[in-house]
Structure 1
Amino acid sequence: MVSIVVLQKSHMAFYELNSHLRKGWTRNLHIGWYTHRGNTAMKTDRRKPLIRTIALLILVTPVVNHALVRDTQPVQTPMLPPSLSEGAQSHADTLSRVLNYRVDERAAQRALYQQAEQALAQHRLTRFRELLPRLTDYPLYPYLQYQDLKQRLQRASRHEIDQFLDSYATLPVASSLRRKVLRQAAKRQDWQSYLHYYRPTQNVTLQCHYLTARLHNGKTHDIYKDIQQLWLSGRSRPSECDGVFAHWIDAGQLTDELLWQRIELTLRQGRRQLTSYLARQLPARDRHWAQLWIDLHRDPDQLPRRYEALLKPHPKAKPIFIDTLRRLIRHDPQKAIRFWHTHTAEFSLRIPLNDTEQASLYHDVAMALALRHQPNAEAWFRRIPPSHQTDASRSWRVRAAIRNKHWQTVHHAIDAMPEKQQQTDRWRYWKARALAALGQEKDALALLGELAGQRNYYGFLAADRLSRPYPLQVQPYQPSAEELFALQERPDIRRSAELFQLGRLLEARREWRITMGKLDEIRRQQAAKLAQLWNWNGQSILTMASTSHRDDLELRFPLLFREEVLALSETKGLEAAWTYGVIRRESAFISDARSSRGATGLMQLMPATAKHISRSLKIRYRGLSTLLQPETNLKLGTGYLAKMMTRFDNQTVLATAAYNAGARRVKKWLPGETAMDADRWIETIPYKETREYVSNVLAYTIIYADRLGQGGPRLNERMRPVRAGNEAFP
């Protein structure tokens, strides 16, 4: 039997009772009254009903409060308190009251939360335990519990950890704690605990520990199949996998065919060093073939000189030949075509290709030629059987014809697309262009008329051709105060809000993404509006983009950093609307945004570029911290934009492409002999990312010009013909 001590300080009693509950001491409770004399608690026999009531209330309170932040509880829809609507002068007044609901109380809790965090970090546990009971209904209470558990993880009981993981199963902190528990169990080689806590994950190290745990605990059903699946990868596996792989190999599970499969996977990933390691495990008769594949993979230009070695009989001769020929096609398609034509008869006898393999090579050749803007691409597209066409090949067949102004082919190739692909704004615009060029004006105008109502790049181009105004009417999305209140008071939204208020943007975004995955489209629209009202504009933009609502231009295209953008644009001779268009496309105004390649900040500058520009602008560059400062990032970004504009003779289209892909690539993509319409040049940019980037920035520029009240030139006036590559730029 456990005796619960009811102390005179209720907060301490609260914490002690909560601790007992977390340890599972819920049976055989005996409640008594204690008095303190010095350090000794003296038990009395007074068992008054009032004392029992107080003790039970203290016992129940943590559980009740815990339900407020427990993520697995059903989400109930909070009702708008009458005090928020009574006497309100307008909808805006009610919204203001909703946003400021319990604002002082929440600010006080936020301050207490920070004090508790600080106390825990400084190991002032008495102070931490004093503060903890006062925060049980604070949205970030699970985060505080997580930090506490993390510090004493080695001493925490399994029941306590289980209760945390169960209570907050869908919260990021639960995943973080589970990973730490698993790593700790693996370090101790406590494989029984590891199996208890493990859940399916993409983390390869944790997967390997899981397989190790299964081996140690005799749970080996289908384990060789699972080990093989993990081993069969194009990348190196962590050292934690060595033990299970050795067990699998010792059991005779590694075959020559599996080695060849992984060799092929590693070459696809370009991991030739790993390929060489694997090749050494092949039988002696096969090692020569593996090394030949490695050599040809490194330099496919060797194929014309070394192809005869592939004519010898071996199961891997054909895969090596096809892989090398495909790499040669991507590297130098004209050389590959000459080689293919020269040796077609020989290959048909010694390395015969089936219809699928031949169609795949035709596809590769056609695509490689089209991406290099070669005039013979169309002939190769015609060789691809309809059953082997892809969305990419169909699109690039049209683009190749657009580049060469072969409008009949453009029309025919678009009509050959599946209906869904044909009906995109992109291909409807280009079909209209082809029809106009072929003299079918009535049909062309009908298509352009349908497109001109669209608020996007192709819609604006269509409106220009018809001399119609752009559809730029602002229609703010206005959910009711009741809807916003109900959303704002959800526990998961409250957690995001508090993390945002604390400036913990990474954690706030993580919570927000999880929550958005649970909401339907209408509630995501409401959430986008709520984030806008919080001035969390980047998240507002991205959330609304996940819905079909497109008419709230104030939300989707905010005028943030207005003074800085206007001043810097004027100083550097840039149009402010274009600067805004670049920022909006680069980061959606998320000032701490970082790409997988390292581009950072509002204008997504690469560190090397930023360092170079900072010298010319005499701005002190301190690495990542410099790029995370919005004002400095804007200075460097507009400096780079101005440099691209000067380099490409004030051609907005080329400068925009260069900001994304680099000036050298843009020069390689310029037309050969004569100038080209800008819309044709943009459509045939080889990189999809840059092609979409340029068209989006141009459309955003039109929208921002309207938002700024600047008007300015129409889109077609901003898109001067692209000069030929033989006309040197400064």
Structure 2
Amino acid sequence: MRCSHLLALLLFCISSAHGTSAAAESNEQPAINTTESLPADHSEGAQHRRIVIAPSLISIPIAERLQSLRDREDNLTVWPEESAVGVNPREIFDRVDKAFETFSRDNDTKEAAAGEAADAAAQVTASLIEEPVSDPLDDALLLPHPEALDYVFLEARNAFSQGRLSDLEEILPLLSGHELSAYPELWRLILLLKQAPDDPAVNLEFERFLALHRNEYIAENALHEYLKIEAERLSAESFTKLYSQLVWNQDDPDLRAWNAIHRLQSAAGKKAREEELRAAKLLYRDSGSLAKESYQRLGDAIAREDRSWLWTRVVVLLQKSGGGKEIKRVLAELPRPELPASIRELHEILDRPNAWLRRQKKLERVPARLAVFASLRLSRTDPAAAARLAEAAVDPKAGSFWKSLVWSRIGFTAMSRLDPRALSWFARAGSDLSRMPYAVSSPEQLKAWRARAELRAGNWYSLSKAIDGMNEASRSEEVWTYWKGRSYAARGLNDLARTEYEKIANRITFYGKLSADALGRPYAFSHPPKEMPKASEIAQWGNNPSIRRAEVLYRMQLYREGHREWNWAMRGISPYESIALAAYARQERLVHRMINTSMKSGTELVVVEQRFPRPHAELIERVSRAQELPASWVYGLIRQESRFIPAVSSSVGARGLMQLMPGTASWTARQLGIEHYDEGRNLTELEMNLVLGSAYLHMLYADSGESFILATAAYNAGPRRARIWRNTLSDAMEAAVFIETIPYFETREYVKNVLANMQTYSMLTGEPIKNFTSFLGKVTPSLVEAKDLP
């Protein structure tokens, strides 16, 4: 029987890849074309297919790249695919002045930083070509050679993601002996189940698959996917039984919603139904996924049990989205007498709140419930307008709970914009939010931002009271433990302050370091076990099936899937065992896993070399010196950005070791005069990414007045946002306060982590930051004109 076109193509790739394996064994770099295809099959219904073999799977050592330059007659005529950094250093020197001539004409001082960055990039490029770096961990950041079936597996994955069931079934026999053969088998079952969710045969196949792979991560994955597809069709008893078997995925938003629906519908007895109804309302209130169908169904199920909750549902939705189809759909379910105004007027408030407000000639005449509705809608986009309405119509007419809710939402939005009026608006909120707990979306978030408003204003007693109002889980977080201690110390209650600092001073974290400073103690550093793991204890991890599968996935750059397999192997391990597994990761040059695995040992056992590695030390330090940046800062940033994975990409498109956005990288390359820069090929190159990232960081550092805090924030959130946050200052502000009140959660945590990493790395690089608090210092208002940086 003639082999299909796709199967023949894959077999061709396998035979080609086997040839490259021999080359790899003889220490020669395998030459793999970026595309291979067979002649088109002109038979009826056949389609010409092409398999793309990503060149990024092929690792070329730095020394080999540089040697190729020396072998040329003119080693300064550099081809981008062969050079260490894809640039011609002589060309950069010739072009730097020209590249910045127009850019600098308007304001020489303003653009000096960019010029310096270009010069430094050229110099380090030339030095790398003339004197290549050699480091014991050189290969730790390079990708391993692919194996023959890797290409077949990746094609199977593509077929699954594109819903090509017949192609996937053709590929399956080729992967029968592969370490990851269960994955395409599961993908086939998922596609079959989506096509025929009621087919008993497919459901039976799923049951057999789960039984065959019991206690493996693939079974957890399979059960998770099965429940997402079949949640609505399963009986409450069947769903609950299967859901209880999940180890990791019970917090999946969709499954949590369906679990609440099934439990609510199957609860027996009045007391049980009341308990499930309370749990369902809290889940709905705190979810960030209310527009998803599963939460629409949950909301409808709650409403069938408690019709009086419908208005509360509208209030929750207003806090979550501020408008949209879901609020309008729910409003249509409310009896007309229960609405505060006509459907038409409510829709206008949702769609055009400011236009509606301008039409109100006398705000004091707006009915209380309508004023609450409109104020909540306005609070998300125009807190000042919401405040005018609330003062005129909510305060005089609405109850204390509604006043607290409206003013808390106004204060929250204002504080997220660092509006100085936020504190006074929070002050008007009072403390009656607990009266209607199901109507307050994310109450702990509101309390945290109220505390930040007090912190930014320096109101230490009020800050302490705000922290006391949080629940126990929030109060025990590092951030509020430290600021509770500071609030005590500011009032002279030093013993109470010391008690708070003692709780976290032994941690290698941002607030752990600040607490150590407050106590006058050395920073937490390395606390290894009395005896490090033996070779046999390390080597045994190579026999763990999940670890083996993870390594194969990493070889194919499937990091997310690899992390799940690796973490599955870590379930329930002791701190000592995590150090042994981290040592195995180091042995296998999996730097990213070494860091994360070692962190599982907690605060009592710390092997600092595992948590804060320095692969390619000489290269990174040379690039850092060229840009006059502390190597500890560059290390700290890379550790946070990519965990030293050169080829990793973020969900928003940032790529490479220093996680540069493609647009920013291209802009920086142009400013540096890099003529042959190619985003698709060069951005994730180790050296190119380091040169571009460090040069851009240098520009941000100069643009921020040499502030590590502002430059780090700008690297994550962009220089425009960092400038906006800085421009809210009228006086110098303690850096820790400035950082804690950064409006973006991701950037706030990023800055803390990078700077804490920097301090730890400074102790490893021989230039220690001796006092972290003094190093952070203060953030001052900007005194110079903003520069045009991406």
> TM-score, normalization: structure 1?
0.62
Q: Which amino acid aligns with 2:636?
A: G
Q: 1:341 aligns with which of 391, 407, 410?
A: 391
731, 739, 751: which one pairs with 1:694? 751
Q: Which of 513, 519, 522 is the aligned partner of 1:460?
A: 513
Calculate percent identity across the aligned residue pairs: 28
Matches of 1:584 and 1:498 in 2, distance apart?
A: 23
Of 529, 532, 537, the residue aligned with 2:591 is 537
Instruction: State the Cα distance separating 1:282 from its structure 2 match.
Output: 11
Decide which structure has the larger Cα Rg and report it. 1
1:344 Cα deviation from its structure 2 partner: 4.4
Contact 2:363 2:389 (8 Å CA) reproduced: no
Match of residue 550 from structure 2:
496
8 Å Cα contact 1:593/1:601 also seen in 2: yes
Q: Which residue of 300, 315, 324 corresponds with 1:272?
A: 324
Shift in Å, 1:442: 6.4
Is the 1:303–1:325 contact (alpha carbons within 8 Å) kept by the matching residues of 2?
no
How far is 1:675 from its partner? 1.5
CA distance in 1, matches of 2:378, 2:528: 53
Give me the whole-angstrom Cα distance separating, in 2, the residues matched to 1:487 and 1:291: 65
**1:294 paired residue among 332, 344, 347:** 347
Partner of residue 430, structure 2? 384
What corresponds to 1:605 in structure 2?
A: 660
Q: Which residue does 2:720 correspond to in 1? A: 664
Corresponding pairs, count: 577
Q: CA deviation at 1:551?
A: 1.1
Alpha-carbon distance in 2 for matches of 1:411, 1:515: 42
Matched-pair contact (CA < 8 Å) for 2:401–2:432? no
Q: Secondary structure at the match of 1:669?
A: helix
Of the three residues 679, 684, 700, the one matched with 2:736 is 679
Moved more, 407-416 or 552-561: 407-416
- Residue 721, structure 1, aligned to residue 774, structure 2: no
Compute the displacement of 1:116 (Å). Answer: 8.9
C-alpha displacement at 1:576, in angstroms?
0.8
Deviation, 1:518, is 6.5
Query: Any idea what the Cα deviations from partners look like across 1:169-228, whole Å, max 9, x if unmatched?
Result: 66676789999999999xxxxx9xxx99xx8897999x99xxxxxxxxxxxxxxxxxxxx
Q: Which amino acid aligns with 2:713?
A: A
Instruction: Supply the distance in 1 between the matched residues of 2:477 and 2:222 (Cα, whole angstroms).
Output: 46
**What secondary structure does 1:716 align onto?**
helix
1:704 matched to 2:750? The reply is no
Q: In the alignment, is the contact (CA less than 8 A) between 1:672 and 1:726 conserved in 2?
A: no
Paired amino acid for 1:324? A
Q: Which amino acid aligns with 1:601?
A: G
Q: Residues 557 and 704 of structure 1 are in contact (CA less than 8 Å); yes or no, is this contact kept in structure 2?
A: yes
Q: Secondary structure at the match of 1:331?
A: coil
Cα distance in 1 for residues equivalent to 2:151 and 2:372: 65
Q: Which runs of 5+ in 1 are unaligned?
A: 1-106, 186-190, 209-228, 239-243
Segments of 5+ residues of structure 2 without an aligned counterpart are 1-143, 160-166, 196-200, 244-248, 259-282, 436-442
| Residue type at the aligned position of 2:403 | Q
Alpha-carbon separation, structure 2, partners of 1:423 and 1:148:
46
SS at match of 1:591: coil
Query: Which of 389, 392, 404 is the aligned partner of 1:359?
Result: 404
Query: Structure 1 468/729 Cα, relative in aligned 2: closer, same or farther at 3 Å?
Result: farther
C-alpha separation in 2, matches of 1:127 and 1:396: 54
Partner Cα distance (1:265, 1:387) in 2: 13
1:460 alignment partner AA: K
The answer to whether the Cα contact below 8 Å between 1:142 and 1:173 also exists between their aligned partners in 2 is yes
Q: Return the offset for 1:147.
A: 9.0
CA 1:386/1:163 → structure 2, altered by over 3 Å: closer, same or farther? closer
* Structure 2 counterparts to residues 444-593 of structure 1, below 5 A: 452-465=505-518, 468-473=521-526, 475=528, 478-501=532-555, 504-517=558-571, 523-549=577-603, 551-593=606-648
Q: Is the contact between residue 365 and residue 393 of structure 2 (CA under 8 Å) also seen in structure 1?
A: no
Q: Distance in 2 between matches of 1:319 and 1:515?
A: 54
CA distance in 1, matches of 2:666, 2:772: 33
Query: What letter corresponds to residue 664 of structure 2 in structure 1?
Result: T
In 2, are the aligned partners of 1:652 and 1:718 still within 8 Å (CA)? Answer: no
Change (3 A) 1:142 1:293: same
What's the offset of the Cα at 1:487? 3.8
Residue 399 in 1 paired to residue 452 in 2? yes
SS at match of 1:599: coil
1:622 CA drift (Å): 4.3
1:61 match: none
CA contact (8 A) 1:678 1:722 kept: yes
Q: Could you say if the C-alpha distance between residues 726 and 409 of structure 1 is closer, same or farther in structure 2, counting changes exceeding 3 Å?
A: farther
Q: Tell me which residue corresponds to 1:631.
A: 687
8 Å contact kept, 1:673–1:725: no
**Alpha-carbon contact 1:275-1:294 (below 8 Å) kept:** no
Structure 1 residue 424: Cα displacement: 4.5
* Deviation per residue, 1:378-410 (Å, 9 max, x gap): 573474226639444444344333322333434
Quick one: structure 1 residues 510 and 395, their matched pair in 2 at CA, closer, same or farther if it must change by over 3 Å?
closer
Distance in 1 (CA, whole Å) between partners of 2:331 and 2:407 is 31
Per the alignment, in what secondary structure is the counterpart of residue 380 of structure 2?
Answer: helix
User: How has the CA–CA distance of structure 1 residues 454 and 616 changed in structure 2, closer, same or farther, with 3 Å as cutoff?
Assistant: same
**Cα distance, 1:697 vs structure 2:** 1.4
- Measured against aligned partners, the alpha-carbon deviations of 1:249-308 in whole angstroms (never above 9, x if no partner) come to xxxx9xx99999999898754673677799999999999944433332233323533458
**SS state of the match for residue 470, structure 1?**
coil
* 1:614–1:621 contact (8 Å) kept in structure 2: yes
1:264 and 1:164, CA in 2 relative to 1: closer, same or farther beyond 3 A? same
2:174 and 2:517 map into 1 onto residues whose CA distance is: 68
- Alpha-carbon RMSD across the aligned residues, in angstroms, is 5.7
- The offset of 1:415, in angstroms, is 5.4
Opposite residue 694 of structure 1, the aligned amino acid is V
Q: Deviations over 1:2-45 (max 9, x none)?
A: xxxxxxxxxxxxxxxxxxxxxxxxxxxxxxxxxxxxxxxxxxxx
5 Å matches for 1:196-275? 235=291, 268-269=320-321, 272=324
Counterpart of 2:745 in structure 1: which amino acid? K
User: Contact 1:378–1:400 (CA<8 Å) still a contact in 2?
Assistant: no
Partners of 2:330 and 2:779 lie apart in 1 by: 50
Distance apart, 1:364 and its partner CA: 1.8
The alpha carbon displacement at 1:375 in A equals 5.2
Write the deviation string for residues 575-624 of structure 1: whole angstroms up to 9, x where unpaired. 11011111112222233443333333322323332332232234455446
* Relative contact order higher in (CA < 8 Å, ≥ 6 apart): 2
Looking at structure 2, the residues matched to 431 and 421 of structure 1 have their Cα atoms a distance apart, in angstroms, of: 12
Equivalent residue for 1:70? none
Q: Which amino acid aligns with 2:545?
A: P
| Change beyond 3 A, Cα 1:514–1:463 | closer
**Distance 1:111-1:451 versus aligned 2 partners, 3 A rule:** closer
Matching residue's letter, 1:543:
T
Letter aligned with residue 748 of structure 2:
R
Question: CA offsets per residue over residues 420-476 of structure 1, 9 Å max, x none?
Answer: 655544344334444444455666567657765443222323444565432323526
Query: SS state of the match for residue 469, structure 1?
Result: coil
On the 8 A contact 1:524/1:547 being kept in 2, the answer is yes
* 1:682 Cα offset (Å): 1.8
Instruction: Provide the C-alpha distance between the structure 1 equivalents of 2:229 and 2:494, rounded to a whole number of angstroms.
Output: 72
Provide the rounded CA distance (Å) in 2 between the counterparts of 1:280 and 1:403.
43
Q: Does the aligned pair in 2 maintain the 1:310–1:318 contact within 8 Å?
A: no
Cα separation, 1, equivalents of 2:713 and 2:155 = 52
